[in-house]
Chain A
Amino acid sequence: MEIPYVVTARPETGIFNAKAGIWLFLASEVMLFGALFTTYILLRIGAPTWPHGELDVALATVNTAVLITSSITMVMAWASCLTKDFKKFRLYLGLTILLGATFMVIKYFEYSHHFHIGDIPSKNTFYAIYFTLTGLHGLHVLGGMIVNSYFWGPGSKMWKSEPVRFTNRIEVAGLYWHFVDLVWIFLFPTLYLL
């Protein structure tokens, strides 16, 4: 007896299993980052002064653009699966991975600059929450890159045997990637601008 609705959608819910799974996972992620944003608000309300202008807004803006672009290429990768164009899929997913890597490299330069001038997590609660939030987000980007690389490389074998299921997987990976992007879109103004 096979597990049903791995590939096709269950009529009542209209989705296949993995899609239900990823939405639930994202709901839990919302709670995770929600708790951290709440922490940020609480710490800031309680603080007599809050540092401003210590982070590099220009770099972060570039990074925002990079992530948004990567979300677009991720959608294109999925769309290429739907139009059964495997070559294009590879191209777009590859671009998504590279853009993710670009984000991480820029983040690395930001981090090393801060460490260099002594802006470490223990300096004050601002840096504490800054490093915690961006660090955790960075781990999520890294996780997404690993998953995407798997689907770009060894995992793409499934395209030959079960193209529909593979397309589903890309859709699910995409949902996760958009979420990671979305978190950054909240992080950017919260940490860099406000």
Chain B
Amino acid sequence: MKTNQPNHAVETVAAPHVGVVHVHEELPFWRRYIFSTDHKVIGLQYGFTALLFLLFGYIMMMMMRWQLAYPDTEFPKYYFVLPIAAIGAIIILMSGIKPSINTLIGILLLGLAALINYIASGEERMPDGIMLPEFYNQLGAMHGTIMVFLGIVPLAVGAFGNYVLPLQIGAPDMAFPKINMASYWAYFVGGVIMLVSFFVPGGAANSGWTSYPPLADIATTGQTLWLFGMVFLITSSLLGSINFIVTVLQLRAKGLTFFRLPFFVWAQFVTAFLLLLAFPPLEAAAVLQLMDRLAGTSFYLPSGLIVSGQVLPNTGGGSPLLWQHLFWFLAHPEVYVLILPGMGIVAEVIANNARKPLWGYKSMVYSLIFLGFMSFIVWAHHMFLTGMGTAISAFFQTTTMIISIPSVIILSCLFISLYGGSIRFNSPMLFALGFLPMFGIGGLTGLPLGLATSDIHLHDTYYVIGHFHYVVAPGTIFALFAGIYYWFPKVTGRTLNETLGKIHFWGSFVCMNFIFFPMLIQGLAGVSRRLSDGGQQYSHAQGVFQLNEVMSVAAWVMAIFQIFFIINLFISIKKGKKASENHWEATTLEWAAAPTPPIAHGNFGIVPEVHRGPYEYSLPGNAKDYSPQNELVKE
């Protein structure tokens, strides 16, 4: 029994000794860590792979930002390559030259440095270190693709979902462990295909992350690889989402009713439905684009299309808008896939550190479900300028306004939950608190985009870029950082360093706004997105051109603050302060699981039983200020 438990000694399964699971024979290294079927290992695999991709996506962005700030000047690539190589080498040296996870990650970082060194040179990309517009397009398309499909989603869903969700519902593992492993490896293969595409003639995909035809239909080979890569990533999401839904439906612990589920589980549950139902149309769309590219069909090609002064040999008869519909039918739900897990994490961290129940938990859950449903019928707000007709525009404008209501409800509930709490300002909480206003800006800037009239001016400008980055970067990514700081003690039994965490937060918070707020200003001035010189040639861009340098410098400075995070992560794994078992004195079930749950031996010594709602903090008349879900209710 823990010392801070009241004397009337309610029975809990959280007592330390029952957490220890007896050990069977050990699995070999490669079964334990590489081809593992354990949800925790798979979660960590997802996590580290996704973090590496996020780093790669970030570096590509920094290269683009150089070109935008100082068009057509030589790119100082060693400022970017050497630090990564150095960090990789230090990690390897720190962990000793032996097969271990750290060594592997160090080697991967060295590989990443080599990759960047490669793409930042070469006649067909950066002759004399000066970026060709064609290569800028590759970077743009791959930055978007990698950030969304290989970074954020795998981290938010694959890593946090896999690691935390089964623990929070008191399950021994995911419902289908082998399918779970297949899901990770499909993701891995998809990622490798995307990376390989940089090496084929013509380079990687360069038609934007949205891959609009006809451009994408006639683009270089990289686009074909992009499509194949996407098919793998879609398959991975599909397998994962089935697993999540079945796990929540079937494996909840006794007493864990749907309205006792932590909000994080709800968020993952709804997200899984979005992935399940929205991705297949993109798979269909990808197959059709592959047919266009490989079999010479014309699904997306209108008749008589002229390219470089010549009529395309294809028969035509297709429609470029077909792709846009199929793509956005996925990609709008996809933006909720990007945000909902983040909201889930923030809700957990806020309830825990405000030491209060979530205000309006039920309305948050209903909003979530409504949001999930509505996200399937707003997609064409990305297509107001395609000439769909006013009736259709009016419909999608209406649904878009409606869908912003549940987001506002959830955000308001989170804000109100803070009211009157005795807030602990630790690093996870700072990131969670940072999320709130940033997501607020992101959401509010979406409204003018959702109105067909104002979107005429804003569409395809930097304003759109500003809008969605506010939601995803200081929004979702902050939420993900909050999650990493919050669950790190669960995973490793140690805590991340608070001081480094706070430097990381404040540095990132300030830089984020210097990067993304100017985008809104540029966009309002009419500067188009996807220009490889930042609008240098346009007179209307001159007044706001100088902002490019501000944004770029902020982006590079923010990279320095991320180094604090990387260092923190690797030092704390080995040397961090020891965490107590329920480090944050939280109520949800993951903290009742075995401390740093053993791999491949189940999670709980005794199957937990749930007696309470998810956030019973500061109950009146209780000696301690939290009552875990598995604690019996006193008569």
**Which of A's residues lie within 8 Å of B, judged by CB?**
1-5, 10, 13, 16-18, 20-21, 24-25, 27-29, 31-36, 39, 42-43, 46-47, 120-125, 128-129, 131-132, 136
Contacts and interface: CB of A to CB of B under 8 A. Distances in A.
Nearest to B298: A125
A43 B287 contact: no
Among B241, B285, B318, the one with the most A-chain Cβ atoms within 10 Å of its Cβ is: B318
B250 A20 contact: yes
Nearest to B606: A1
A153 B21 CA distance: 38
21 contacts: A1-B607, A3-B175, A5-B250, A10-B249, A13-B250, A20-B245, A21-B175, A21-B242, A24-B241, A24-B242, A28-B276, A35-B284, A42-B319, A43-B299, A43-B317, A43-B318, A121-B295, A122-B295, A122-B297, A125-B297, A131-B295
Contacts of A128: 291, 295, 297-299, 318
A4 B251 contact: yes
A28 B279 contact: yes
A21 B318 contact: no
Nearest to B602: A1
A28 B288 CA distance: 18
Given A20-B250, A21-B176, A121-B296, A1 B604 contact: yes
B222 to A, nearest CB: 22
B173 interface: yes
Contacts of A35: 280-281, 284-285, 326, 329
A44 to B, nearest CB: 10
A9 to B, nearest CB: 9
Contacts, number: 125
Contacts of B315: 122-125
Contacts of B21: 1
B16 interface: no
Contacts of B607: 1
**CB-based closest 6 A-B pairs:** A1-B602, A122-B296, A128-B297, A32-B280, A35-B281, A35-B284
Interface in B222-263: 238, 241-243, 245-246, 249-251
Contacts of B334: none
Contact of A31 (B176, B249, B280, B298): B280
- The B interface is mostly helix, strand or loop, or mixed, namely helix
Contacts of B314: 122
B129 interface: no
B277 interface: yes
Contact of A13 (B238, B249, B288): B249
Contacts of B171: 3
Contacts of B288: 36, 39, 132
A1 B297 contact: no
B322 interface: yes
Given A1-B604, A5-B251, A21-B175, A27 B291 contact: no
Contacts of A1: 21, 172, 602-604, 607
Given A17-B175, A17-B246, A43-B317, A31 B277 contact: yes
Nearest to A123: B315
A127 to B, nearest CB: 8
Interface string B255-293: 000000000000000000000111111011101100100
Contacts of B71: none
A20 B318 contact: no
The contact size tier of chain B is: 35 or more
B443 interface: no
Contact of B319 (A17, A46, A132): A46
Interface in B1-43: 21
Contact of B322 (A4, A32, A42, A120): A42
A4 B176 CA distance: 11
A103 to B, nearest CB: 21
A40 to B, nearest CB: 10
A4 B276 contact: no
Contacts of A46: 317, 319
B421 interface: no
A32 B295 contact: no
B144 interface: no
Contacts of A43: 299, 317-319, 322
Contacts of A25: 238, 242
A139 to B, nearest CB: 10
B69 to A, nearest CB: 41
Nearest to B251: A4
Nearest to A9: B250
A32 B246 contact: no
Contact of A20 (B249, B278, B281): B249
B276 A24 contact: yes
A79 B432 CA distance: 54
A29 B283 CA distance: 10
B440 interface: no
Given A46-B319, A125-B315, A128-B297, A3 B284 contact: no
B277 A17 contact: no
Contacts of A2: 172
A20 B246 contact: yes
A190 B530 CA distance: 41
B208 interface: no
A164 B314 CA distance: 55
A132 B296 CA distance: 12
B177 interface: yes
A132 B243 CA distance: 29
Contacts of A21: 175-176, 179, 242-243, 246
Among A32, A35, A129, the one with the most B-chain Cβ atoms within 10 Å of its Cβ is: A35
B252 to A, nearest CB: 9
A39 B329 CA distance: 13
Given A25-B238, A27-B277, A47-B317, 19 more contacts: A1-B172, A1-B603, A16-B250, A17-B175, A17-B251, A20-B250, A24-B246, A28-B276, A32-B283, A36-B284, A42-B319, A43-B299, A46-B319, A124-B317, A125-B298, A125-B315, A125-B318, A129-B299, A131-B295
